[in-house]
């Protein structure tokens, strides 16, 4: 107790206050996001089954592939992806700006409204009233409502940044700020050109704008949020500074400059201006640059404290996410080469790549952040290291299987069959069969992993976590505390009774 000086105490109290102020909205975003992830994976599994057993539950038209597939992606993006990102954005921005959130009630209400909209949208898609555009399948009114709701959530992170304490702006804050800025611009553009001007514009550019929208949302929203999380978690858990700050800034600007040019390669060969198709294909290759910058920085930072890497679930997920980013962009680069694109453009590879990015990279980083944030905002530790470990390995197995077997092998095999003039299109479907079963297998692993994660998170939400000073580590023989001084929080209890009252 004698070693705790006054500034340290104040700092600890400030962090505890920030955590407490954001407990309800952040926990709500994470918990409901996790449930949406489970729903999305269930729908994805159903869609996958339908590609190798089309008569499975064929009496239920709402489970048809054409409906479950866009519903699965929409639930994944707006149900899980956006909500996990919102939770991380508002918590991380408040922590790094050292400002409590005064309007958590508004964020919480907006979060409920967001969930209601996603639920109605998903029901609409499943009942055949969606738009049929994969990443924008919700009806127009739902999409507009989601954009408006976003402003009620995101604005508080911007305000927290605006009234930040301390002079230094961390790399994570730059990434978050950019994501907050890009998200509305990207979604409103996609909405305007892809839906609102429908019937009044050019049919091809409507489709092209939705292709651009998908890519922009991935690289200009999900990627910066995941990168911000990784750049926060890695130094925080290891207790070491980011390996190279210049490299981090370089990676950020590389992403900002290259990211908005991608997406139109999905329209290769379609009658839109050819320069757009080839520019996007080139940009997809260049995306490897920011991925390498992120990968080197996170790996080098994590490697500076090998104990933390071995024991901390947050760091393990984050490092896996950084690897996921590199693999995702490398696969994207190979698949976007014009010589390869003829095989991959209409093969299953594109869907597999989206799964690799959203699950193998973004979700991994979000899991890392959630394992770090939730004990702090609930003041409880994760119940079981075994459940975390199972979540990690089952998820890794599932996504690596999908990335290598389904996306890469299956994608090129399917594409190769499609490119054989003398071969019937049904024969290419035949070649797809083992890979379709492979995708279902991958989804089953992911479902088990997410079941573990969901249960664990819901227990934490119900405040059933361990009441302990020691974080839940993947090994019980930790010589040090990889989560930093946060465990000292309980020492404040006698001084401020409010801190234990929540």
Partner 1 sequence: MTVKTFFYGLIASFGVPWLVMLVVPYGSMRSMEPVRYDEINDERTDLFQAKRSGRTSNGSLVYAQEGCAMCHSQVTRPSYAGVDVFREGQGGTKSHPERGDTRRITHAWDFEREDRAHIGEARIGPDLGNFGNRLAALEVSENEATAVAMGVKIVKEDKSRLTQKEIIAALGDKAFDKELYLYKHLYNPREEGLNDPGDENAWSVCQSNPQFFKKVGNFGQGAATAVDVKDGQQVVANDRCKSLVNYLINLKKDGAVPYAMQYAKNKKKAGK
Q: Which of residues 389-448 bind partner 1 (CB under 8 A)?
A: 418-421, 424-430, 432
Q: Which of 442, 443, 429, 444 is nearest to 51 (CA)?
A: 429
The reply to whether 253 sits near partner 1 by the rule CB under 8 A is: yes
3-state secondary structure of 494: coil
The reply to whether 342 sits near partner 1 by the rule CB under 8 A is: yes
Cβ atoms 312, 473 nearer than 8 A: yes
Phi, psi of 166, rounded to the nearest 5 degrees: 85, 150
Cβ atoms 348, 433 nearer than 8 A: no
Chain centroid to CA 63: how far? Answer: 25
The reply to whether 264 sits near partner 1 by the rule CB under 8 A is: yes
Tell the smallest beta-carbon distance from residue 219 to partner 1 (Å).
Answer: 11
Nearer to partner 1, 128 or 241 (CB): 128
The reply to whether 358 sits near partner 1 by the rule CB under 8 A is: no
The reply to whether 346 sits near partner 1 by the rule CB under 8 A is: yes
Tell the smallest beta-carbon distance from residue 53 to partner 1 (Å).
Answer: 9
Out of 15, 20, 23, 50, the residue judged to bind partner 1 by CB under 8 A: 50
Tell the smallest beta-carbon distance from residue 13 to partner 1 (Å).
Answer: 28
Cβ atoms 147, 188 nearer than 8 A: yes
Nearer to partner 1, 321 or 332 (CB): 332
Q: Which of 128, 122, 121 is nearest to 144 (CA)?
A: 121
- Scanning 259-267, 298-306, 363-371, 482-490 for contacts with partner 1 by CB under 8 A, the matching segment is 259-267
- Scanning 23-31, 57-65, 302-310, 374-382 for contacts with partner 1 by CB under 8 A, the matching segment is 57-65
Nearer to partner 1, 245 or 393 (CB): 245
DSSP symbol at 264: G
Tell the smallest beta-carbon distance from residue 398 to partner 1 (Å).
Answer: 21
Nearer to partner 1, 348 or 394 (CB): 348
Cβ atoms 388, 317 nearer than 8 A: no
Nearer to partner 1, 85 or 220 (CB): 220
Q: How far apart are the first and last CA of the chain?
A: 23
Q: Could you say which residues in the range 166-225 bind partner 1, by CB under 8 A?
A: 169, 174, 177-178, 181-182, 185, 189, 193, 198-209, 212, 220
The reply to whether 245 sits near partner 1 by the rule CB under 8 A is: no
- Scanning 92-100, 275-283, 308-316, 362-370 for contacts with partner 1 by CB under 8 A, the matching segment is 275-283
The Cα-based distances of 47 to 67, 68, 137, 243, 413 in angstroms read 8, 6, 15, 42, 20
Tell the smallest beta-carbon distance from residue 431 to partner 1 (Å).
Answer: 11
Tell the smallest beta-carbon distance from residue 269 to partner 1 (Å).
Answer: 3
Out of 2, 3, 55, 168, the residue judged to bind partner 1 by CB under 8 A: 55
| Distance (Å, whole) CA 219 – CA 222 | 6
Nearer to partner 1, 16 or 288 (CB): 288
The reply to whether 67 sits near partner 1 by the rule CB under 8 A is: yes
Contact track, partner 1, 100-129, x by CB under 8 A: ----------------------------xx
Chain centroid to CA 247: how far? Answer: 23
Radius of gyration of the chain (CA): 22
The DSSP secondary structure of 119-181, one letter per residue, reads HHHHHHHHTT-S---GGG-S-HHHHHHHHHHHHHHHHHHHHHHHT-SSS---HHHHHHHHHHH
Tokens read off for 190: 């996609």
Only one residue has tokens 């092209």, namely: 208
Nearer to partner 1, 203 or 501 (CB): 203
Q: Could you say which residues in the range 320-339 bind partner 1, by CB under 8 A?
A: 338
Nearer to partner 1, 192 or 462 (CB): 192
Tell the smallest beta-carbon distance from residue 438 to partner 1 (Å).
Answer: 15
CA dihedral angle for residue 280, residue 189, residue 38, residue 118, rounded to 10 degrees? -170
Max CA distance (Å), the chain: 81
Count the site residues for partner 1 by CB under 8 A.
Answer: 83
Nearer to partner 1, 393 or 433 (CB): 433
| Distance (Å, whole) CA 338 – CA 344 | 10
For residue 125, how many C-alpha atoms fall within 13 Å in the half-sphere facing its CB? 29
């Amino acid at each position: 107790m004698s070693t705790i000086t006054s500034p340290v105490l104040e700092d600890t109290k400030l962090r505890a206050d920030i955590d407490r102020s954001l407990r309800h909205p952040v926990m709500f975003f994470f918990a409901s996001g996790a449930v949406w992830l489970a729903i999305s994976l269930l729908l994805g599994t159903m869609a996958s089954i339908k590609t190798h057993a089309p008569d499975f539950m064929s009496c239920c038209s709402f489970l048809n592939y054409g409906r479950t597939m866009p519903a699965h992606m929409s639930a994944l993006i707006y149900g899980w992806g956006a909500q996990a990102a919102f939770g991380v954005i508002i918590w991380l921005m408040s922590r790094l700006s050292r400002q409590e959130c005064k309007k958590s009630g508004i964020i919480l209400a907006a979060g409920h409204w967001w969930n209601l909209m996603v639920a109605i949208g998903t029901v609409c898609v499943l009942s055949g009233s969606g738009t049929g555009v994969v990443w924008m399948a919700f009806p127009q009114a739902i999409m507009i409502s989601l954009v408006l709701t976003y402003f009620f959530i995101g604005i508080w992170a911007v305000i927290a940044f605006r009234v930040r304490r301390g002079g230094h702006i961390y790399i994570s804050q730059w990434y978050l700020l950019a994501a907050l800025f890009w998200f509305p611009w990207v979604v409103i553009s996609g909405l305007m050109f892809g839906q609102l001007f429908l019937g009044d514009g050019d049919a091809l550019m409507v489709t092209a704008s939705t292709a651009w929208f998908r890519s922009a949302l991935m690289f200009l929203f999900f990627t910066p949020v995941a990168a911000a999380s990784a750049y926060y978690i890695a130094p925080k858990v290891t207790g070491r500074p980011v390996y190279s700050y210049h490299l981090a800034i370089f990676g950020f600007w590389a992403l900002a400059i290259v990211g908005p040019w991608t997406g139109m390669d999905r329209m290769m060969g379609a009658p839109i201006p050819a320069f757009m198709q080839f520019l996007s294909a080139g940009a997809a290759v260049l995306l490897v640059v920011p991925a390498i910058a992120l990968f080197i920085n996170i790996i080098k930072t994590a490697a500076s404290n090998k104990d933390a890497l071995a024991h901390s679930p947050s760091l393990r997920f984050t490092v896996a996410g950084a690897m996921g980013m590199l693999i995702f962009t490398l696969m994207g680069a190979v698949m976007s080469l014009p010589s390869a694109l003829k095989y991959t453009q209409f093969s299953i590879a594109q869907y597999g790549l989206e799964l690799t990015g959203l699950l193998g990279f973004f979700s991994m980083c979000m899991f890392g952040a959630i394992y770090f944030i939730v004990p702090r905002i609930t003041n409880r530790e994760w119940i079981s290291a075994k459940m975390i470990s199972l979540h990690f390995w089952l998820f890794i197995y599932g996504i690596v299987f999908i990335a290598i077997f389904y996306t890469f092998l299956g994608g090129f095999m399917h594409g190769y069959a499609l490119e054989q003039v003398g071969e019937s299109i049904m024969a290419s479907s035949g070649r797809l069969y083992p890979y379709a079963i492979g995708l279902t297998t991958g989804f089953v692993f992911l479902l088990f992993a997410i079941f573990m994660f969901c249960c664990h998170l819901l227990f934490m939400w119900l405040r059933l976590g361990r009441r302990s000073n020691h974080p839940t580590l993947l090994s019980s023989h930790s010589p040090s505390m990889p989560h930093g001084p946060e465990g000292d929080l309980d020492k404040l209890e006698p001084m401020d009774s409010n801190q234990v009252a929540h």
